Structure 1
Amino acid sequence: MVFRKLQLPIYILLFSLLFVTQSCEKKKQNNSQKKPDVTEINRLLAIGHKHFENQGFDSSYYYYSKAKIAAELKKDTSRIVHSLGWMAQIQGDLGDYSGSESTAVEALPFIENNDKYPNGSCNIYNLLGNNYLYTFDNDNALYYFNKALNLKIDPIEKDNMKNNIAFVYMEQHNYLDAIKILYPLTLKKEILEDSEAYSRILNNLGYCYYKVGNPKALDYLNQGLKIRLQGNNDRGLTGSYYNLFEYYKKNNVNLAVNYINLAYQQATKVNNVNNRLEFLKILIENNTENQSKKYSLLYLKINDSIYKVRVKAKNQFAKIRYDSSKEKNENLKLKAQTILQQEQQHNKNLLLYFVVGIIITMSIVVGNFLVAKNKREKIKSSYNTEIRIAKKLHDELANDVYQTMAFAETQDLSTSQNKEILLTNLDTIYSRTRNISKENNTIETGPLFVSNLKEMMSGFNNNEVNVLVNGIDTINWTTLESNKKITVYRVLQELLVNMKKHSQCSLVVLTFKKNEKKLQIDYSDNGIGATFDKKKSRNGLQNVENRILAIKGTVTFDTKSNKGFKGTILFPI
Structure 2
Amino acid sequence: MFLIGCSKKEVPKSSTSSKEQINPYYEKAFVFMDKDSDSSFYYLNKARELFQKRNDSFGLGKSFVNMAIIQEKEGDNFGSIETSLVASQFFKGKDTAHYGFLFCNYNNLGIASANLKNYKDAKKFYDKAFLFTKDPIDKMALANNLAIVFHNESNYKKAVAIYSKLLDSVGLKSEFYPKLLLNFTRSKWFDDRNYDPVHNYLLAEKLSENLDDDWTKDAAYAYLSSYYLNNNIDSARMYSNKMLDLAQKLKYPADQLEALQNLIKISDGTKAQKYFEDYSRIQDSLINAQNKAKNQFALIRFESEKAKADNLKLQKEHDAHEYQVERQKLIIGLLLLFFILTSIISYIWIKKRREKQALEANNMLQEQRLDFSKKVHDVVANGIYEVMTTIENQSNIPKEKILDKLELMYEKSRDLSYDDALQQDFNQRILGLVSSFDNDRTKIILIGNDCSFWTSIDGSTREELFQIIRELLVNMKKHSQATQVILRFINENNFREIKYIDNGVGLSESFVEKNGFTNMRSRLEGNAKLEIEESISGLKLSIKF
TM-score under structure 2 length normalisation: 0.51
Partner deviation per Cα, 1:126-170 (whole Å, 9 max, x = no partner): 111111111122222222122212333311100111111111112
The equivalent of 2:90 in structure 1 is 110
Aligned positions of 1:25-424 closer than 5 A = 41-54=22-35, 56-111=36-91, 113-116=93-96, 117-188=98-169, 190-195=170-175, 197-211=176-190, 212-213=192-193, 215=195, 217-323=197-303, 360=333
Q: Which structure has greater helix proportion?
A: 1
Amino acid at match of 2:184: L
Name the aligned partner's letter for residue 163 of structure 2.
Answer: L
**Per the alignment, do residues 157 and 285 of structure 1 end up closer, same or farther by CA in structure 2, a change over 3 Å counting?**
same
What do residues 328-355 of structure 1 show as CA deviations (whole Å, max 9, x unaligned)? 9999xxxxxxxxxxxxxxxxxxxxx9xx
Root mean square deviation of aligned Cα: 3.6
Residue type at the aligned position of 2:158: D
Which whole-Å CA distance do the structure 1 matches of 2:256 and 2:334 have between them?
Answer: 55
TM-aligned CA deviation for residue 326 of structure 1: 5.6
Q: Distance in 1 between matches of 2:144 and 2:161?
A: 11
Code of the residue aligned with 1:206 in structure 2: it is T
The structure-2 alpha-carbon separation of the partners of 1:97 and 1:330, relative to structure 1 and needing over 3 Å to count, comes to closer
Matched position secondary structure for 2:32 = helix
Q: CA 1:213–1:313 in 2, change beyond 3 Å: closer, same or farther?
A: closer
Identify which range, 38-47 or 253-262, moves more after superposition: 38-47
The whole-number CA distance in structure 1 between the counterparts of 2:28 and 2:241 is 37
Tell me, yes or no, if the aligned pair for 2:61 and 2:89 is still in contact at 8 Å: no
C-alpha distance in 2, partners of 1:89/1:309? 17
Q: Which runs of no fewer than 5 residues in structure 1 stay unpaired?
A: 1-34, 332-352, 371-529, 536-573
Q: Which moved more, 1:257-266 or 1:179-188?
A: 257-266
Q: Is the 8 A contact 1:81 1:110 kept in 2?
A: yes
Alpha carbons of structure 1 residues 135 and 232: separation in structure 2 relative to 1, 3 Å: same
Select the structure of larger CA radius of gyration.
2
Retained in 2: the 8 A contact 1:69–1:325?
no
1:151 alignment partner, SS class? coil
1:399-457: per-residue Cα shift (whole Å, max 9, x none)? Answer: xxxxxxxxxxxxxxxxxxxxxxxxxxxxxxxxxxxxxxxxxxxxxxxxxxxxxxxxxxx
How far is the alpha carbon of 1:125 from its aligned partner?
Answer: 1.1
Asked whether the 8 Å contact 1:41–1:67 carries over to 2, the reply is no
1:321 Cα deviation from its structure 2 partner? 2.9
How many residue pairs get aligned? The number is 312
1:313 positional shift: 2.1
C-alpha change, 1:210 and 1:238, in structure 2 (3 Å) is same
Q: Which protein has greater RCO, CA pairs closer than 8 Å, 6+ apart? A: 2
CA distance in 1 between counterparts of 2:159 and 2:241 reads: 28
CA offsets, 1:488-530, max 9 Å, x none? xxxxxxxxxxxxxxxxxxxxxxxxxxxxxxxxxxxxxxxxxx9
1: CA distance, partners of 2:174 / 2:334: 57
What is the Cα deviation at residue 37 of structure 1?
Answer: 5.3
Q: Is the 8 A contact 2:260 2:276 kept in 1?
A: yes
1:363-389 Cα shifts (integer Å, max 9, x gaps): 69x99xx9xxxxxxxxxxxxxxxxxxx
Which amino acid is 1:58 matched to? D
8 Å CA contact 2:204–2:220 kept in 1: the answer is yes
* Counterparts of 1:126 and 1:278, CA distance in 2: 26
CA contact (8 A) 1:245 1:257 kept: yes
Aligned residue identity for 2:174:
D
Query: Cα offset for 1:47?
Result: 0.9
CA contact (8 A) 2:225 2:262 kept: no
| Structure 2 runs not aligned, ≥5 long | 1-15, 312-325, 344-492, 497-545
Give the counterpart letter for 2:78 in structure 1: S
Hey, what's the Cα distance between the residues in 2 that align with 1:323 and 1:40? Answer: 24
* C-alpha distance in structure 1 between counterparts of 2:262 and 2:121, whole Å: 29
2:25 and 2:43 in contact (8 A); partners too: yes
Distance 1:80 1:250, change over 3 A: same
Partner Cα separation in structure 2 for residue 270 and residue 363 of structure 1: 59
Counterpart of 2:353 in structure 1 is none
- Structure 2 counterpart SS, 1:228: helix
Q: Which amino acid aligns with 2:272?
A: S
Identity of aligned residues (%): 28
C-alpha distance in 1 between matches for 2:171 and 2:71: 30
One-letter code aligned to 2:281: K
Per the alignment, do residues 214 and 108 of structure 1 end up closer, same or farther by CA in structure 2, a change over 3 Å counting?
A: farther
Contact 2:150-2:159 at 8 Å conserved across structures:
yes
Which range moved further: 212-221 or 41-50? 212-221
CA contact (8 A) 1:167 1:178 kept: yes
Cα distance change, pair 326–175 in 1 and its aligned pair in 2 (3 A)? closer
Check whether the contact 1:47–1:63 (CA below 8 A) recurs between aligned residues.
Answer: yes
Question: C-alpha distance in 1, partners of 2:266/2:193?
Answer: 24
From the superposition, tell whether residues 215 and 70 of structure 1 become closer, same or farther in structure 2 (CA, over 3 Å): same
